[in-house]
Amino acid sequence: MSERNLGEVILAVDNISLSFGVMKVLDDISFDIRRGEIRSIIGPNGAGKSSMLNVINGFYHPQQGSITFKGETRKQMAPHRAASHGIARTFQNIALFKGMSTLDNIMTGRNLKMKTNLFWQALHIGPARAEELENREAAEKVIDFLDIQAIRKKPVGKLPYGLQKRVELGRALAAEPDLLLLDEPMAGMNSEEKEDMCRFILDVNSEFGTTIALIEHDMGVVMDLSDRVLVLDYGKQLADGEPDEVRANQAVIDAYLGVPHEEG
């Protein structure tokens, strides 16, 4: 994968530190994500992976450091700005509207693309109608892409876990993001569901050219999918590089094999 021609840096994180009270969650983390790549963040439980994603999409505000997204440098992101500037994400615990259908959930991903006001939308005439058609078509393309036609009208709360994860990916895709953040998309899946999900992640990346930042536990999956891997451990940056480099890194091996830390 390393021979792939990756684009310019879309997101750069410089010297980010985040703490909750005395608890230091992220300690001086710096890395970048380049357009078109699949970038993974791995690490043991509590390493700060999800926190890192939350910093990127503006949910957490770091005390130090800066984030540069599409050339604009800020001390911190705001979630609405992240969304409107093309960052979409999925969550570690599924965060769908359980009572709504698959289609409606995916349509909510189009929310930011809707420009007409409530008045037109309520009457469902004129520009609102055209917009609805356009958005429905985009949502249907996502359904077709993820091969979930059979559950289009089913309430997502009744779907098996693996399918719910797929619907959540669909909602993120419907926003046509430049950068897609996936928080443990394969957690709790069986091996067949994992394989499907890997296929979809690779397909999203190659068909739409979407840049993907992925948090994952399963080392095998990460090493197969990723262009570059960032390893965190207890909020510290342990390693950063291509899968083969990372795999050979002694600090990573220690962290994963559980060598005792000095302080513990």
Residue 137 or 262: the one with the smaller Cβ distance to other proteins is 137
- Work out which of 95, 125, 150, 248 binds other proteins, going by CB under 8 A: 150
Which phi and psi (to 5°) does residue 232 adopt?
A: -110, 150
CA separation for the pair 262, 93 (Å, rounded): 33
- Judged by beta carbon, residue 8 or residue 195, the one nearer other proteins is 195
Per CB under 8 A, the list member of 15, 63, 117, 206 interacting with other proteins is: 206
Q: Which of 61, 141, 158, 261 binds other proteins (CB under 8 A)?
A: 141
Binding residues for other proteins, rule CB under 8 A, total: 16
Pairing status of strand 64-69 against strand 72-74: antiparallel
Q: Shortest CA distance to 84 belongs to which of 178, 170, 9, 7?
A: 178
For other proteins, the closer CB: 46 or 209:
209
Which is it for strands 38-42 and 23-34: parallel, antiparallel or unpaired? unpaired
Using CA atoms, how far apart are residues 244 and 179, in angstroms rounded to an integer? 24
Applying CB under 8 A, which of residues 134, 144, 224, 244 lies at the interface with other proteins? Answer: 144
Verify binding: residue 84, other proteins, rule CB under 8 A.
Answer: no
Stretch that binds other proteins, among 32-40, 132-140, 166-174, 247-255 (CB under 8 A): 132-140
Q: Distance between CA atoms of 38 and 205, rounded to whole angstroms?
A: 8
Q: Examine residue 134 and tell whether it contacts other proteins (CB under 8 A).
A: no
Handedness of CA 165, 167, 171, 174 (dihedral sign): positive
Q: 49 or 194, CB closer to other proteins?
A: 194
Q: Are 106 and 139 in contact (CB under 8 A)?
A: yes
Query: Token pair of 227, please?
Result: 């262009």
Nearest alpha-carbon partner for 205 in 235, 247, 153, 169: 169
Q: Which residue of 52, 143, 179, 204 would you call a contact of other proteins, by CB under 8 A?
A: 143
Residue 256 identity: Y
Q: Which of 104, 132, 140, 245 binds other proteins (CB under 8 A)?
A: 140
147 is an interface residue for other proteins by CB under 8 A: yes
Question: What x-and-dash track marks residues 105-124 binding other proteins by CB under 8 A?
Answer: --------------------
By the criterion CB under 8 A, which residues form the site for other proteins?
Answer: 103, 136-137, 140-141, 143-145, 147, 149-150, 152-153, 203, 206-207
